[in-house]
Structures are given as C-alpha cells and as structure tokens.
Amino acid sequence: MPTSRILITCPKRMTSYLKAELIELGFSIIGESFAGVSIEGTFADTLRLNLHLRTAHRVLYSLKDFRAVTPADLYYHTSRIPWETIVPDDGYVSVVSAVETPSINNTQFANVKCKDAIVDRIRTKTNKRPDSGSDTDRTVVFLYWKGNDCCIYLDTSGDSLSKRGYRKLPHAAPMRETLAAATIMATRWDRKSNFVNPMCGSGTLAIEAALIATNRAPGLLRENFGFMHVQEYNPAVWQSLIKSATSAIIPFNGRIIATDHDAKAIYAIRENARLAGVDRLIEIDCCDFRDTTVPAGGGVVMLNPEYGERLGDIEHLETVYKEIGDFFKKKCSGYYGYIFTGNMDLGKGVGLRAKRRVEFFNADIDCRLFEFELYTGSKEAKE
C-alpha cells in the first residue's frame, strides 16, 4: 500500500503525550485534534506504531476520502476501493463507525451499507465472499462520516491498544493502561529512580512504570492485531520488529514498589505483573498505604485513590486524602508526590500546596494529576 495519512486516536487531553511518542519514533505531525494525531506513513509503519505506542487507542490507515450525501454515495465510493487486494477472500471483515450525518438516523445502517460494498466488490472480483460480522478480532474497517465528508480507514489495531494483554484480573474501577502510561509520562520521573505506588489496586500504574523503565514495547504482550488480517501483512517483517524491540529492552536498577491493603488486589497485581513479564521488577506488599516502604534515593510516589464518583464515601475520603498528605510529609522526603483524582476538592484537602495540576479525563470524568514537591523543613531552607 502507498504512503497515506495515518490517524492515531487517543483519549481526550492525551494528544501531547502521543505526539511526543510519535516524534521519538521519528514521525512528523501533520494534524492534531482533541483526541487524535495525524501523520503520513505506509502500511508497514502501522506495525511499528501498534508495537510501540503507549498512549494510543487505535492506528487507522486511510484508504479513501470522499463526499457522500446519501447511502448510495457511500456504497459507490466504498466499492471503488480495491478490497480484493486488502481483505482475504476467505477471511472475516467487520465495520465500525463514527457517523453524524443527516443522511441517515441509524449508524448500523451505514455499517451494513459499507460492509455490503466491501463484500460485493470482493465477490465480483474473486467469486468468493469473506464472512462478516461484529467481531473485531480480524480485518476491521473504520468508517468516519460527518456531514457530507467520508473517510474509510483500515483499523490496524483491531482491539484498542489499551488492551495490552496482561490485565486478566482487574480490580475495582481499574485505570486504563493508556491513561496510566500518560500520567506516568506527565510526572518528573527519570525512569531510573524509584517508583512507589501505594493503593496499587490491580497494579496498572506499577506495571506500566516497569514497562516504561525497561523500554519494553507494550505491543510485545499482544498476540493479535488488525493488521495481521490484511493481505499485505508480512509475518517476517513483524518478527523482525519484535526482535528489534526485544533487543532494545534495558535493565532497571531502581525499585518499583506496589502496595495495597486488599489481598484480592495483591493477588491480581501478582498475576498481571507475571503476564506482563515484569513480576521480578515489582516489589509487592499487602499493607496499609501508610506502611508502604519508601526507600532512600528519591523518585516518584504516585497514588490513584478513590474519589467518590464510582467508589467510596466522601466524608471518609476526606480523611484518607488528609492522611495521604501526612504520609507524603512524614515518609516521602526527597520525592515528587502525585495524586490522580477526579475530585478536585479532595485533591486540595491533602494539606500541601500542589506545584502543578495536570488535566486528564478518566472516561468522562474530569480529573487532575496533582504534583507535590516533597522536602524536609521549610521551602526557604530547601532553596
């Protein structure tokens, strides 16, 4: 396939971290929206993107842009794409979409019309017809139709890239992997010093920190991507990328510590860390967050406490947040402390002045990552 526009989607408020990742991989940014970044590249580039990106949700390879006023227009232009060279005629294809047009009032109808154009074209050219349905574990086509503007993409990711493959045992209200990676990137952690994660839950923050610290590509944990079900896919190219990414893994000499008072959470993080291949890098302990070991040498202490939207009682949580502030002051001197929360009032109740407040969304919840510079004595004495 030729060089084309590639749209990489991400959660809202995370485009800056995705842009930084793309630039580090050597790509130039040609466009940006509130939940995505565009570059130019080849189909082969999508393999590398799916393998390495930590903050992306999907990698969409553009096949065709066109104007469509009616469903018939959609069918006509979609059927002009050479699907017989893209989708295996004995394969399986699904269509997902984002549709906002006065032409139709049923998104599913647009999906069916697009799917019909694909399979009819393949049947005309090959006398064979691929299966189709709603499963997204094989060839996935993404339809974007807003107003009269249409774009047909190959979704080279298939399932969202947030599904790394290691979180088999989620705990209550788990943080999505892409969000965890972005919040870690937003901290001042140098990837060499200690990373301490009390209230670890099922361990997403600690595991993502271990992956980042050792430069382990998150896609190494996945066995299936959408690009693997496209005719142009070359397994030898993918294996070469896997080999290169594996050889780029580096040692980590700091300490990653994860604790939780819930024994079920501890069981979950042990299993998830094992599946992620980083169980030997994370020191896991079942204890109250105030009893968490904070080793000398500095680094980052990061907590994602409940914030009353889905779990927890506000009055109780006010006490918890104040105790987090006491924990920071008493045990975390020389560290940067971070609290990720969707309750700004609770975040302000820590009893420390935040140096930064970084904006995020957790699903649709407006959140902040509060940063605290922790030191012994007064600020004047430190300076």
Check whether residue 81 and residue 192 sit in a common domain.
no
> What is the CA angle 298-304-306, rounded to 5?
145
pLDDT tens column, 42-78: 999 999 999 999 999 999 999 999 999 999 999 999 9
244: in domain = yes
Check whether residue 148 and residue 291 sit in a common domain.
no
Check whether residue 186 and residue 151 sit in a common domain.
no
94: in domain = yes
Check whether residue 276 and residue 318 sit in a common domain.
yes
Domain of residue 114 covers 4-155
Check whether residue 182 and residue 122 sit in a common domain.
no
Q: What is the count of structural domains for the chain?
A: 2
239: in domain = yes
Per-residue pLDDT of the chain (383 residues), as tens digits, is: 889 999 999 999 999 999 999 999 999 999 999 899 999 999 999 999 999 999 999 999 999 999 999 999 999 999 999 999 999 989 999 999 999 999 888 889 999 999 999 999 999 999 999 999 999 999 999 999 999 999 999 999 999 999 999 988 766 667 999 999 999 999 999 999 999 999 999 999 999 999 999 999 999 999 999 999 999 999 999 999 999 999 999 999 999 999 999 999 999 999 999 999 999 999 999 999 999 999 999 999 999 999 875 555 888 899 999 999 999 999 999 999 999 999 999 999 999 999 999 999 998 999 999 999 997 653 433 44
191: in domain = yes
Average pLDDT along the chain: 94
Check whether residue 147 and residue 249 sit in a common domain.
no
**Ranges of H-type helices in the chain:** 15-24, 43-52, 71-79, 107-126, 177-186, 204-213, 235-247, 263-276, 314-331, 344-348, 379-382
pLDDT tens column, 73-110: 999 999 999 999 999 989 999 999 999 999 888 889 99
Q: What is the pLDDT of residue 117?
A: 98
